[in-house]
């Protein structure tokens, strides 16, 4: 099992290029099932989750060409007509986003069998929202031995769908399925994250007829077939937020490049309210060490609210304030598992149900800690960068799922960080 060892209190000075978004790349990859033509994705991060989704797609008849992934962050996906419609447990258990093949498979093959997904243990994230919506398009479902089995013998037909709650994954699954459904589909209460807009842009480039309307509504006119496309994946806004925090809590200056400011207005407003020392460029941002003196109350919400994927990292930042702050987690019910690990390093965080009270801790100290999920793992990295002494982070495979070249990026800016067996 690999570990990351960090010796803290080293100043960070340099430039970090923001990678492509993992959360945008995964549904884009699943969209390759919707056409027999090649789908080329540029700016794809080289991450464990990308390889896992590639393996899932390969098992379904998609040629996952990753020849140019390491050097150029490009992948090419080509779906060939296949009798394969089974996404097996051994692959799907590794990542919840594997459920995104359900809608495309049902649209193309008129049948699918997908294992109940796995991934980070941060919440139930039930798949019934996906299933109920696809059923309105004509899918017939049952659950057998841990597999979601479905078919639509006559093909999918457009319908009016009201999602009972805002769900990113369900929105993506239904949009992809509806592109090949007969007639018009109207979906209300959709998620509007930048990653979903990126998926819509790619599907439109593939020939889909999609109209995004106000008030979380979308109209889709089904077409007979889609064609291939070349698409550039958007930058990872969660990575931007993570490195803004790194720049704010460490000595020196970090310059972050490849930023889409339209995607992070909500984040920047929070950081500005905390007086984080930031200077905008055209698509870059310089961040200097900042005096964290204010307290805030934050609620994680669906976009454009504050993202749950930055909640753990914010706790590190707010622990350095001289007053108490509050974060309420409204998306996932089990997403405070990083708190005991941060407290082992000297944080003073209390949790009461879905609320976390972050008290001033005066600094962090190195310790042996364990990553519990993807975003929790990077919060431990942030705390380690400013901790006195040495920190060893165990179970770092979580980091490899979502942060491309993390050690290299930080080490190039002066961090004392290494990976060991």
Same domain, 269 and 256: yes
- Give the domain CATH number at 209: 3.65.10.10
Per-residue pLDDT at 83 exceeds 90: no
Going by pLDDT thresholds of 50, 70 and 90, the confidence category of residue 352 is very high
Which of 232, 249, 279 lies at the terminal end of a domain, its last residue?
232
Give the confidence band of 333 by pLDDT, cuts at 50, 70, 90: low
Is 304:265 a contact under the CB 8 Å cutoff?
Answer: yes
The answer, yes or no, to whether residue 180 has pLDDT greater than 90, is yes
What would the mean pLDDT of 72-92 be, rounded to a whole number?
88
Extract the runs of DSSP E, i.e. beta strands, from 118-243. Answer: 140-144, 147-151, 160-162, 184-188, 209-213, 217-221, 229-232
Q: How far apart (Å, rounded) are the C-alpha atoms in residues 361 and 157?
A: 57
213: tokens are 């309307």
- Mean pLDDT over 281-291 rounds to 96
Q: How far is CA 238 from CA 1, 224, 306, in A?
A: 26, 36, 11
Q: In the predicted model, is pLDDT for residue 93 greater than 50?
A: yes
Per the structure, the complete domain to which residue 226 belongs is given by 22-232
d(C-alpha 224, C-alpha 201), whole Å: 19
Residues 321 and 401 in one domain: yes
Spatial CA neighbour of 167 closest among 210, 133, 116, 199: 133
Residue-level pLDDT at 120: 39
Contact 258, 45 (CB under 8 A): no
Contact residues for 285 (Cβ-Cβ < 8 A; gap 6+): 240, 244, 255, 256, 259, 278, 279
Asked whether residue 304 falls in the same domain as residue 407, the answer is: yes
pLDDT at 139: 94
Residue 82 pLDDT > 80: no
Tally helices (H) and strands (E) across the chain: 15, 24
Q: Do residues 42 and 7 share a domain?
A: no
Predicted confidence at residue 334, as pLDDT, reads 65
| Structural domains in the chain (count) | 2
Return the ∠ at Cα 86 (arms to 82 and 91), rounded to 5°. 115
> Has residue 387 got a pLDDT over 60?
yes
Could you write out the three-class secondary structure of 213-261? Answer: ECCCEEEEECCCCCCCEEEECCECHHHHHHHHHHHHHCCEEEEEECCCH
pLDDT tops 90 at residue 154: yes
The verdict on 225 and 240 lying in the same domain is no
The mean pLDDT value for 303-309 works out to 95
Q: Do 217 and 258 fall into the same domain?
A: no
From 32-41, 88-97, 379-388, the region with the lowest mean pLDDT: 88-97
The pLDDT assigned to 87 comes to 86
pLDDT of res. 147: 87
Say how many Å lie between the first and final Cα of the chain, rounded: 6
- Domain-terminating residue out of 214, 232, 250: 232
Say how many CA atoms lie within 13 Å of 408 toward its Cβ: 7
Instruction: Using the 3D structure, point to which of 232, 257, 290 is the last residue of a domain.
Output: 232
Range of weakest confidence among 11-25, 114-128, 247-261: 114-128
> For the chain, what is the mean pLDDT?
93
Which residues are part of the catalytic machinery? 120
Nearest one of 324, 349, 346 to 335, comparing CA atoms? 349
Same domain flag for 315 and 356: yes
Check whether residue 289 and residue 396 sit in a common domain: yes
**pTM above threshold 0.75:** yes
pLDDT at 110: 94
Residue 313 shares a structural domain with residue 211:
no
Are residues 123 and 259 both part of a single domain?
A: no
pLDDT for res 76: 98
DSSP 14-35: EEEEPPBPHHHHHHHHHGGGG-
pLDDT of 369 reads 96
Q: pLDDT at residue 104 above 50?
A: yes
Contact between 187 and 132 under an 8 Å Cβ cutoff? The reply is no
Residue 126 confidence (pLDDT): 65
Q: What is the pLDDT of residue 89?
A: 81
How far apart, in whole angstroms, are the C-alpha atoms of residue 44 and residue 19? 8
Query: pLDDT value at position 118?
Result: 53
Q: What is the pLDDT of residue 85?
A: 85
Largest CA-CA distance found in the chain, in angstroms, rounded = 64
Is the pLDDT confidence value at 123 over 60? no
């Amino acid at each position: 099992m690999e570990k990351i060892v960090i010796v803290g209190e080293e100043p960070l000075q340099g430039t970090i290029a923001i990678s492509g978004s993992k959360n945008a790349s995964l549904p884009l990859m699943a969209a390759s099932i919707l056409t027999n033509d090649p789908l080329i994705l540029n700016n794809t991060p080289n991450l464990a989750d990308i390889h896992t989704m590639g393996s899932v797609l390969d098992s379904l008849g998609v040629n996952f060409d990753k020849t140019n992934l390491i050097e150029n962050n490009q992948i090419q996906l080509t779906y060939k007509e296949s009798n394969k419609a089974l996404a097996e447990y051994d692959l799907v258990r590794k990542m919840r986003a594997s459920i995104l093949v359900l809608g495309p498979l049902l649209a193309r093959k008129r049948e699918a069998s997908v294992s109940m997904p796995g991934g980070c243990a941060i919440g139930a994230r039930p798949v019934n929202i996906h299933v109920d919506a696809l059923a309105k398009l004509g899918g017939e479902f049952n659950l057998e031995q841990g597999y979601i089995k479905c078919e639509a013998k006559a093909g999918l037909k457009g319908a009016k769908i009201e999602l009972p709650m805002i769900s990113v994954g369900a929105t993506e699954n239904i949009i992809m399925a509806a592109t090949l459904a007969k007639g018009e589909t109207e979906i209300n209460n959709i998620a509007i994250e930048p990653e979903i807009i990126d998926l819509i842009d790619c599907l439109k480039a593939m020939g889909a007829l999609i109209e995004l309307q106000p008030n979380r509504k979308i109209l889709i006119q089904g077409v007979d077939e889609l064609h291939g496309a070349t698409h550039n994946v958007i930058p990872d806004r969660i990575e931007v937020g993570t490195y803004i925090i790194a720049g704010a809590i460490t000595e020196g200056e970090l310059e972050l490049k490849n930023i889409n400011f339209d995607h992070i207005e909500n984040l920047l407003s929070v950081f500005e309210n905390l007086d984080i020392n930031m200077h905008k460029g055209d698509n870059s941002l310089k961040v200097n060490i900042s005096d964290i003196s204010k307290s805030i109350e934050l609620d994680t919400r669906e976009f454009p609210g504050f993202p749950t994927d930055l909640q753990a990292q914010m706790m590190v930042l707010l622990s350095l304030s001289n007053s108490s702050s509050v974060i309420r987690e409204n998306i996932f019910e089990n997403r405070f598992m990083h708190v005991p690990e941060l407290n082992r390093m000297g944080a003073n965080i209390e949790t009461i149900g879905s609320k976390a009270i972050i008290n001033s801790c005066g600094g962090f100290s190195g310790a042996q800690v364990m990553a519990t999920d993807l975003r929790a793992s990077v919060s431990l990295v942030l705390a380690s960068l400013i901790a006195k002494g040495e920190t060893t982070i165990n179970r770092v495979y979580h980091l490899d799922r979502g942060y491309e070249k993390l050690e290299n990026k930080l080490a190039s800016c002066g961090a004392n960080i290494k990976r060991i067996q």
